[in-house]
């Protein structure tokens, strides 16, 4: 086998996350994330191209996204590529690619607050750009709200070993 499917993104949310709470209490959040690259075209003019990524986060990370992550903010995402296939109305096979995140870290950024249910003004964020400092990794935590699998992993690592 020997398979690796890993994505690392830093970008800005194009919209607030859309969160759904499934039967069983599992949360799923989705949001578009923009990354942009600058390059010079053949005339030497500086051009920018923006890439939009469909981010999906589950469980504890979805709840973090729901509470703390807003349109405009900058986040670090680690995850894997997943392409779903479906039939369109004409029966043609179509593909839709998304990034299933298993690590999300807020980097601050510029939330506009405008479309946020919590309605947090932009001022407080701008005064403390990356103060929220919320970072979570998904893992086998199930619906374990507020859990952080990374902490759990470290917790059981005996750190006071003689080497």
36 binds DNA (CB under 7 A): yes
Residue owning tokens 């010079």: 40
| Angle at the Cα of 101 from the Cα atoms of 97 and 107, rounded to 5 degrees | 120
Q: Please give the Cα distance from 8 to 26 (Å, whole number).
A: 24
User: For residue 11, which of 37, 46, 30 has the smallest C-alpha distance?
Assistant: 37
154 binds its own copies (CB under 8 A): yes
CB of 12 to its own copies, least distance (A): 8
Window of 64-72, 88-96, 113-121 that interacts with its own copies by CB under 8 A: 88-96
What is the helix (H) or strand (E) element at residue 43, kind and residue range? none
32 binding partner (options DNA, its own copies, none; Cβ < 5 to 8 Å by kind): DNA
User: For residue 122, which of 110, 107, 106 has the smallest C-alpha distance?
Assistant: 110
Site for its own copies in 19-48 (CB under 8 A): 22, 24, 26, 28, 34-42, 44
Residues that bind DNA (CB under 7 A): 1, 3, 11-15, 32, 34, 36, 48, 50, 52, 71-72, 109-110, 112, 128, 130-133
């Amino acid at each position: 086998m020997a398979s690796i499917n890993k994505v690392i993104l830093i970008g800005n949310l194009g919209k607030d996350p859309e969160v759904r709470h499934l039967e069983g209490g599992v949360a799923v959040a989705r949001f578009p994330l923009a990354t942009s690259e600058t390059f010079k075209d053949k005339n030497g003019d500086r051009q920018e191209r923006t890439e939009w990524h469909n981010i999906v986060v589950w469980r504890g990370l979805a709840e973090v996204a729901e509470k703390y992550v807003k349109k405009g903010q900058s986040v670090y995402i680690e995850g894997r590529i997943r392409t779903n296939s479906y039939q369109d109305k004409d029966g043609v096979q179509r593909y839709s690619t998304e990034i299933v995140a298993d690590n999300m870290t807020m980097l601050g950024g510029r939330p506009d607050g405008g479309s946020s249910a919590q309605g947090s003004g932009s001022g407080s964020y701008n005064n403390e750009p990356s103060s929220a400092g919320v970072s979570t990794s998904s893992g086998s935590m199930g619906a374990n709200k507020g859990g952080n699998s990374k902490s759990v992993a470290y917790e059981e690592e005996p750190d006071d070993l003689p080497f």
